[in-house]
Structure 1
Amino acid sequence: MPTELILDCDTGVDDALAILYAAGQGARVHACTVTHGNVPVEVGTRNTLTVLDLAGLSTVPVHAGASRPMAQPLQTSEHVHGRDGLGDAGVSTSSRQPAGDLAAVEIVRLARERPGKLTLVAVGPLTNIGLALLLEPDLPALVRGVVIMGGAVGVPGNASQLGEANVWHDPEAAQLVVDSRWDVLFVGLETTMQAPIPPEALRRIEASTDPRARFTWAIMQHYMDLYEPTLGLRSCIPHDALAVALALDPDLATYRCIEAYVETGPGRTRGTLVGDLRPFAPPPAEPSTRGVIRIVDRMDFNTFFARLLESLGA
């Protein structure tokens, strides 16, 4: 049976890859909900509709959500994803309209409608998820699983010295997610930064005539411009697609449980996901315990990239 998803996103370049991956691997996407983050929520909503249409998922409803974080000013990342969020590649956008503008309500409604069936995947700031938890305290018992692209446990951040963007953009919401009694996997920079798209995969995307690959190649150019000085090669990191891949096939990785919290105070560490990595620390409680998360230990990147190329028709 296909994995049933709610995908919460802030659609920029890597979110687009995540949507294309989910579609290409046969996920059943019940809804996409959209938050602020890479771009303002209105832009992210338009981009989500555009990518879903390209992916053959034009019947998937899109619900706009939080337009700002819970407790700090809105900050967006157009320098990473382009002014339009899709690499300023001149993409023709969807004429579809969003199905609603109360994303957190829709998350709760779907979870109640299909208890134990849905995997919640969040690849943007966690504001919509935090609001859904406030609306429905029993949400952890209603979803099948939770996969977050977020955090930088034990490695440098990308939004601050130690803060990864999706956690850093709304630390209070992220702490609500960490404090909930569910088995939550954080796919963070400690994993994703190990996986720049290989040169051979890029050559196949560039050479493909499939519309999905042509779209991907076009929107990736701005993204690769940003990453090239950091990576030392012309490539980029498909952060969000890696999280979707593990939601669809958890056997692509091995995991470890750690106790964790989010720095929510003022100062330079605000927005940091802190995990206890001490080798001599006592074993954490069960994954569904408050303040315990899972992170990736090792991941099969070769299989991931093979499936990504398949999903793009490359």
Structure 2
Amino acid sequence: MGQAQARTPAPAQKETGKTAPAKAEQANARQMVIIDDEGTSLMHIALLASPKIDVVGVTSVSGNIWATRGAAMQLRMLELMGKDKVPVAQGALYPLLNTEEKTRRWEALYGKLTWKGVWMKEWVEPTQQSTPPYRTPQDVSDIPGGAPKGHVLAEAAANFMIRMVHKYPGQITIVEGGPMTNLALAQRLDPEFASLAKGLIYMGGSFNPRQVLDNRSAADFAREFANSPRREFNIRFDPESASITSHAPWKSITVVPVDPSTATQLTPDLLARVAKVAPAGIRQVVSGFEPGFPLWDEIVAAVLIDPSVVTRSEQLYVDYDSQFGATYGDTLSWREHYQPGLGEQKATVILSVDPGKVDDTLVDAVSRAR
């Protein structure tokens, strides 16, 4: 046995030489992704424009807006970017268990939430950000850029994602920018779903964010976490789905929580830079983005396109509290050896990024739109 092993190096070296071009080609291959999110953002534009990314599908989920409206916005954005061949699948309209009435009941017991997404009617206190219109799930009027000409797929988002990971096993990264309802449904429908994906990267969760930028808008967002450092909207909207997804057997999980976003901002200057290099059809949509918000989903895009934007990360086991109480939806995390051992998965948690490099990465990606 030992002698046989000793003879293997020469053939192995020769084989490596033969496969070098194939390995180089694989290294240069575009990352295949499915974007699951409420509507559209600079994240979508950057990923669709980047020559490093191959968006094989976009799916909608309710969160900030209803999945119905989100799908219409996604269709129209793809049309304006000349990417109308990218399929759009409409996803879950409601969370697994959470409801508007349960949210009101929770607030009566434990205090007001800063943001409630589709259930938001007014801010608790004055803020620089506008109050979004309170819409019904059927209201798909006033789509930025006009009503879409195309249509969503006949299959639900969860089924679409299942089909695609089976078609391209080990190749598709799921990019999650909203609540994880579709991912949890896909995992429950097909226990192989997560293991067949290349990995998952998502914006969600909150560990210990601090105010970094010194301006009123940034201070407003950072203040939200002063007394609730472990609460974040994407998770709080559907905690059960976040917990199910966190226990799924992904090959890799990357978490982009609120923490790095407090050092970033969608400034008028950044919007102007993006609009200047954006495809003509999408400039009006970009110009309509409201400034002042942190770069939440956009950090996910930047990390995918150029991982060197990350300045600090940590390996943690991550889960979310799905018990209806004061900490409903809060982030749970453990270092190695301290996790409960109930199927929690280890994740790479992005704790800080280079804000200037994130901005430059986004602008560069948009400038490369084909």
Q: Secondary structure at the match of 2:282?
A: helix
Does the aligned pair in 1 maintain the 2:316–2:336 contact within 8 Å? no
Aligned to 2:302: 245
Q: Secondary structure at the match of 2:263?
A: coil
Does the aligned pair in 2 maintain the 1:19–1:52 contact within 8 Å? no
Give % identity: 20
Q: How does 1:63-142 map to 2 (within 5 A)?
A: 63-73=89-99, 76-77=117-118, 82-83=132-133, 91-142=145-196
Work out the number of aligned pairs and report it.
291
Taking the aligned partners of 1:204 and 1:76, their CA distance within structure 2 comes to: 28
Query: RCO (CA 8 Å, sep 6+): is it higher in 1 or 2?
Result: 1
Aligned to 2:246: 178
Does the aligned pair in 2 maintain the 1:25–1:307 contact within 8 Å? no
Please tell me whether residue 4 in structure 1 is matched to residue 32 in structure 2. yes
Q: Secondary structure at the match of 1:166?
A: helix
Per the TM alignment, residue 312 of structure 1 is displaced from its structure 2 partner at its CA by 4.1
Report the residue type matching 1:46 in the other structure.
A
Taking the aligned partners of 2:170 and 2:358, their CA distance within structure 1 comes to: 26
Taking the aligned partners of 2:117 and 2:85, their CA distance within structure 1 comes to: 28
CA distance 1:116–1:208, change in 2 (3 Å): closer
Tell me which of 31, 34, 51 is aligned to 2:77: 51
Aligned to 1:62: 88
Taking the aligned partners of 2:117 and 2:158, their CA distance within structure 1 comes to: 20
Taking the aligned partners of 2:304 and 2:337, their CA distance within structure 1 comes to: 25
Q: Which moved more, 1:148-157 or 1:56-65?
A: 148-157
Taking the aligned partners of 1:271 and 1:158, their CA distance within structure 2 comes to: 15
Taking the aligned partners of 1:244 and 1:60, their CA distance within structure 2 comes to: 18
CA distance 1:239–1:311, change in 2 (3 Å): same
Aligned to 2:331: 273
Q: How does 1:146-165 map to 2 (within 5 A)?
A: 146-155=200-209, 161=228, 162-165=230-233
Per the TM alignment, residue 101 of structure 1 is displaced from its structure 2 partner at its CA by 4.1
CA distance 1:133–1:206, change in 2 (3 Å): closer
Q: Secondary structure at the match of 1:261?
A: strand
Q: Secondary structure at the match of 2:319?
A: strand
Aligned to 2:58: 32
CA distance 1:203–1:248, change in 2 (3 Å): closer
Aligned to 2:316: 258
Per the TM alignment, residue 205 of structure 1 is displaced from its structure 2 partner at its CA by 4.4
Taking the aligned partners of 2:170 and 2:303, their CA distance within structure 1 comes to: 18
Q: Secondary structure at the match of 2:350?
A: strand
Q: TM-score under structure 1 normalisation?
A: 0.82
Report the residue type matching 1:18 in the other structure.
M
CA distance 1:108–1:10, change in 2 (3 Å): same
Q: Which moved more, 1:40-49 or 1:157-166?
A: 157-166
Taking the aligned partners of 1:111 and 1:213, their CA distance within structure 2 comes to: 33
Report the residue type matching 1:115 in the other structure.
P
CA distance 1:113–1:90, change in 2 (3 Å): closer
Instruction: Select the structure of larger CA radius of gyration.
Output: 2
Report the residue type matching 1:187 in the other structure.
V
Q: How does 1:276-291 map to 2 (within 5 A)?
A: 276=334, 282=336, 290-291=344-345
Per the TM alignment, residue 246 of structure 1 is displaced from its structure 2 partner at its CA by 1.8
Please tell me whether residue 308 in structure 1 is matched to residue 362 in structure 2. yes
Report the residue type matching 1:148 in the other structure.
Y
Unaligned runs of 5+ in 2: 1-28, 101-115, 122-129, 210-221
Per the TM alignment, residue 292 of structure 1 is displaced from its structure 2 partner at its CA by 2.3
Per the TM alignment, residue 179 of structure 1 is displaced from its structure 2 partner at its CA by 1.1
Per the TM alignment, residue 206 of structure 1 is displaced from its structure 2 partner at its CA by 6.3
Report the residue type matching 2:296 in the other structure.
H
CA distance 1:81–1:112, change in 2 (3 Å): farther
Residues 128-176 of structure 1 show CA distances to partners (whole Å, capped at 9, x for unaligned) of 0001111121223211111011111123796993421111111010001
Does the aligned pair in 2 maintain the 1:37–1:76 contact within 8 Å? yes
Does the aligned pair in 2 maintain the 1:158–1:165 contact within 8 Å? no
